[in-house]
Amino acid sequence: MNNLPHGVEIYLSLGSNIKPEKNLRYALKELSEIFEDLQLSSVYQTEAVGFVGDNFLNMVIKAFSHFNPRKIISELHNIERSTGREIGTGQFNSRALDIDLILYDDLINQELNLPRDEILEYAFVLGPLAEINPLGVHPIKEVTYQELWSSFDKASSNIEKYKTLST
């Protein structure tokens, strides 16, 4: 079953380092047609992690969905593919668009990587998440995202707020 009777709060992490402003704007347009009540974090610029490449623009979006997690992930992959992204080509490379479901309410599902491991690993995911959901509680760590961000080693990550995206 793909449709749920009530909307579930979800969080998506977006990133791009190939025409990033254009691709993030495109993603926002596409996501607004699939999900309800989009709330956007600021956009952050970060250096490429794990490879040499152009800087990334990253953000987190809060939304509501009537889809189950597998259907959401499928929809996200469709949006990524529409920008020329080849799914499953490796973790560390340049990307026109990367969209990950990082939270699906308080669901813990190891197979689907929910909550997404990157929340605890990367400033470009945790920082924007803490910005738009500071009092939200990580389903496994059972502490708020604000607390996680306060204790995060920011010295190891070069993250800075980027200008507001124009539409």
Taking only the tens place, the pLDDT of each residue in 35-88 is 988 999 999 999 887 777 889 999 999 999 999 999 999 999 999 999 876 655
**Average pLDDT of the residues in 102-112:** 97
3-161: CATH number: 3.30.70.560
Average pLDDT, the chain: 89
> What is the phi/psi pair of residue 111, to 5°?
-60, -40
Between 144 and 1, where is the model more confident?
Answer: 144
Q: Delimit the domains of the chain by residue range.
A: 3-161
pLDDT on residue 1:
43
Q: Is the dihedral of CA 142, 145, 150, 156 positive or negative?
A: positive
Report the distance separating Cα 54 and Cα 56, nearest Å. 7
- The DSSP call for residue 112 is T
Taking the C-alpha atoms of residue 144 and residue 90, their distance in angstroms, rounded to an integer, is 31
Q: Among candidates 110, 94, 93, 89, which has minimal Cα distance to 19?
A: 94
pTM greater than 0.85 (yes/no): yes
